Structure 1
């Protein structure tokens, strides 16, 4: 069976990697001062950071179901017999809902996967799905691999302020940290698909140190090994420094470092440092 994999731009897969793994990416939209831009096409994370620092009005928008419908139809026209569509948490975005709506009328079977994750945690799930597809797995087995990899992920992040999360309505139960707590340095995580508080500290240095400690703790839970990624927004040197320390402390030959896309960046703001610990799946047989 010819099987296609689809994801969205928040999975943080570089374009060349997505292309080499035959993964189709549907972009989300960023709206700056009422003008809409397509993530990865005509708005970058740097553009977004400048807009936020300038105090411009920034929001995001899911892809319309019609965008998924066109892609699913194009893939079917190319001979694809089934599709696995893997997306960020339905509890922070309606992207998964758009994919589901399009799947109902698609000309070939489409299995939609809600990773309940964001950023590279979704990206690693997509790459595991591609591994299984390339090894000859069925659509159901490929979708299961994405779900299993998602369940093995821990996402931790530090933001300079909770204000952007508050404005975007993505803060969930972390709203308890608002008010006077906006002056602290919060560490957050993604749990059950929502952004939730882990703890709050008084300095950026302590927040980064706690990210390292919590990353080490998360890594110890996985006997099949881990992949680790550090993402940032307008904090490249801090991200590289953090990745170097994690590589050494965890005994990893490589830690991925990347700037988040504009959509995620719109909700976290400049200064973000995020770590994803993704437990590997057993080798594909």
Structure 2
């Protein structure tokens, strides 16, 4: 009898709800510490988060508790799964995978933990790839292997409107943030094996976004790919970016527009945009 594979991920995957539902992906929410309140990010409206950020209320992100993953695995088992592929944000960005591993020990069925090497739609596409295999009757080893490959091979290109929120989150130094903000230099960032790194610096927002598009086109050239545009509190700009990428990369299979999770948004700040190029 074929195995029934369930796919679980954490909310930094930033999957649109309709995609997660269509592919039966169980998403476990990260937690946000906003001042004294610790809240599952699913219950944090964007406006509340933005207000707290503007007011400089201390905000930190926390991984889901092991119990949250345990109950997600229980839910998958109750729905008929006999094995689980659990795909997560890089351990260098969050210890969410540690919580998943702790829960996996207590799971009624085997759990295969996958490191996506990043977050956002790099993780989202990896989870979707595993779910596609599961829905077509593939086994856990195949689903796990495909998810690992998608995570390793994807490239994310990030534009931030200000470096201030990355500074607050400890992702860059205060000196780097000050130089960028004072001189209107917009660094373009990427994630390499869980590390946020700059790949270019451009004067002005319009030039920076144009450079981001050019780099995405170069990466996509000649490859079978999916494309995601991610934003935080910048949907109109995200739609403009997606429209331009559709023109410049017409051979892409799927195009996805999504707002990043609150846990990511708290680090990149309003106005942030990203393009994920995910070969398959």
Partner of 2:150: 149
**Hey, what does 2:240 align to over in structure 1?**
241
Matched, 1:265 2:265: yes
Equivalenced residue count is: 275
Compute the displacement of 1:182 (Å). Answer: 4.2
Which residue, out of 23, 26, 32, partners 1:24?
26
Report Cα offsets for 1:27-48 as digits up to 9, x if no partner: 01112222122222x2133432
Q: Could you tell me how far 1:201 is from its partner in structure 2? A: 1.6
Task: Note the alpha carbon deviations across 1:210-242, whole angstroms, 9 max, x for none.
Answer: 1011101111162xx211111111222211111
TM-score by length of 2: 0.92
Which one is further off, 134-143 or 76-85?
Answer: 76-85
Aligned-pair RMSD on alpha carbons? Answer: 1.9
TM-score computed with the length of structure 1 as normaliser: 0.90
- Give the 4+ runs in structure 1 shifted more than 6 A: none
Match of 1:127 in 2: 128
User: How far, CA to CA, are the matches of 1:150 and 1:252 in structure 2?
Assistant: 21
CA contact (8 A) 1:45 1:259 kept: no
Give the direction of change, closer, same or farther, for the CA distance of 1:35–1:216 in structure 2 (3 Å limit).
same
Match of 2:15 among 13, 16, 28: 13
- Check conservation: 1:83, 1:111, Cα contact below 8 A: yes
Q: Is the 8 A contact 2:229 2:274 kept in 1?
A: yes
Partners of 1:82 and 1:65 in 2: CA distance: 18
Where in structure 1 are there 5+ consecutive unaligned residues? Answer: 281-285
| Unaligned residue ranges in structure 2 (runs of 5+) | none
CA distance in 2 between counterparts of 1:211 and 1:137 reads: 36
Aligned counterparts of 1:181 and 1:12: Cα–Cα separation in 2: 27
Instruction: Give the drift of 1:204.
Output: 0.7
The answer to whether the 8 A contact 2:4-2:137 is kept is no
CA distance, structure 2, for counterparts of residue 77 and residue 251 of structure 1? 42
Aligned to 1:96: 97
